[in-house]
Structures are given as structure tokens and as C-alpha cells.
């Protein structure tokens, strides 16, 4: 898994890892790969707005995974869970359509919630945070093929604004507190365990079904 290539196998072994959104599509696969790499302990934090316990059945059976049903808005809980954590994979997020429908919740989860996670990483001296960003920060492409430097930070959605703010917070705390981080700009990822009930985020799988049915 390329995501784990950002952290050497040597560093991962015998480490304690926390995954926010750990029962989700991406978070659950990260857990599986971490187990294979020989980590000491994994803590999965999820509020099950989008995650599913079916996604983590295999991980939970490993004996090194602890599931905590909670929310990144719960600052006290975060500081308890981050005790002795070496690495954090911050995958928790709201769906893009939910961000449009619930702006205040977006502010509380996507902006403040991510700040809470970053703050906990700094306070507990986490070695590195790998955070889920998004292609949404780029906005609509105007030239094709599209280079990564093509009008960056030109989004027009609240979801994209949140992801942009997340990246800027990570950059700022890197400069202020030497927080080591990587932000992954996902582009319509798909695969097993994905949530197929959304109107936008699963566009590739919807195209696949239409093509398979011979529809435009």
C-alpha cells in the first residue's frame, strides 16, 4: 500500500498507531496493512456515521486492535487515546454532500475536529501524522491533461475549503512545532468496502455500472 510507503517498515514495527475514521473505507484498509507490517497496537476511532464494523472484523480478530466509538470533537477523549501514540492516520471526514447540507457541522468536524487531532499530536509528541486531503482543493480543471500546479486552492465547495484549511493548519504547525506530516490528496478512490450510497464521492463505481449496463 503506497500510503504506508511514507513510513518505513522499520519505524512501523512495534509502534502504537491511532487511526481516526478507522472503521471507514480507507481507515480499515490502513489497519489491515499496519497489522501485516507488525505494529504493536492499533487504536481505531470512529463515530460510525460512515464507518462499518463489517470493515474491521478481520482487524479486530488480530488481537492488537482496539475499537473506540467516539468523535474527533471530543477533546478529552482524544488526549486519552493519544497517550503513547507514535503515528496517527487522520482519515475521519464528512461526505462532500453532507458538508453542503450541514455547514455548521462541517465547521465543527472538518475544521475544529482536525485542529483537535493536530493539537493532540503535538501535545503527545506523535512522530508523524498522515492526513486525508482531497482533489477538491483544486477546483474545476480548465486544461487537460491537468498538472498538479494548475490553479491550486481554487475550490468552490465547503468540503474543499475544509481540506484546504486542513493542509494549511498542518503546514503551520509543522513550522511552529516541527510536526512531521503528509497530506494525501485523494482522487475519487474506489474499491472493496467503499460506501456506495453517496451522490458524488463514488462517481467512478457509478460510471462502471452504467458502462456495464450499456447506458450513457
Separation of alpha carbons 198 and 209, rounded Å: 15
Sequence-ordered list of residues with C-beta below 8 angstroms from that of 158, at least 6 positions apart, any chain: 99, 100, 103, 106
User: Which value, to the nearest 10 degrees, does the dihedral of the CA atoms of residues 83, 3, 207, 164 take?
Assistant: 60
* H or E stretch covering 36: helix 25-37
Question: 17 has which bridge partners?
Answer: 42, 87
Residue 159 known to be catalytic: yes
Separation of alpha carbons 10 and 81, rounded Å: 23
Out of 10, 87, 153, 159, pick the active-site residue: 159
> Which of helix, strand or coil describes residue 80?
helix
As annotated, the active-site residues are 159
Amino acid at each position: 500500500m503506497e500510503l504506508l510507503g511514507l513510513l518505513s517498515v522499520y519505524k512501523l514495527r512495534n509502534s502504537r498507531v491511532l487511526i481516526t475514521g478507522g472503521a471507514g473505507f480507507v481507515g480499515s484498509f490502513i489497519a489491515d496493512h499496519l497489522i501485516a507490517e507488525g505494529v504493536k497496537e492499533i487504536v481505531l476511532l470512529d463515530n460510525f456515521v460512515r464507518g462499518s464494523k463489517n470493515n474491521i472484523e478481520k482487524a479486530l480478530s488480530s488481537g492488537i486492535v482496539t475499537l473506540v466509538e467516539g468523535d474527533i470533537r471530543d477533546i478529552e477523549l482524544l488526549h486519552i487515546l493519544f497517550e503513547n501514540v507514535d503515528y496517527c492516520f487522520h482519515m475521519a471526514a464528512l461526505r462532500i454532500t453532507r458538508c453542503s447540507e450541514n455547514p455548521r457541522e462541517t465547521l465543527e468536524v472538518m475544521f475544529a475536529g482536525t485542529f483537535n487531532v493536530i493539537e493532540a499530536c503535538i501535545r503527545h509528541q506523535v512522530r508523524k501524522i498522515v492526513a486525508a486531503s482531497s482533489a477538491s482543493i483544486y477546483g474545476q480543471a480548465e486544461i487537460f491533461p491537468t498538472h498538479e500546479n494548475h490553479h491550486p486552492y481554487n475550490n468552490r465547495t465547503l468540503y474543499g475549503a475544509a481540506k484546504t484549511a486542513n493542509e494549511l493548519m498542518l503546514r503551520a504547525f509543522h513550522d511552529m512545532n516541527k510536526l512531521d506530516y503528509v497530506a494525501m490528496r485523494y482522487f475519487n478512490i474506489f474499491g472493496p468496502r467503499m460506501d456506495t450510497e453517496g451522490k458524488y464521492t463514488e462517481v467512478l463505481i457509478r460510471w462502471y455500472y452504467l458502462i456495464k449496463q450499456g447506458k450513457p
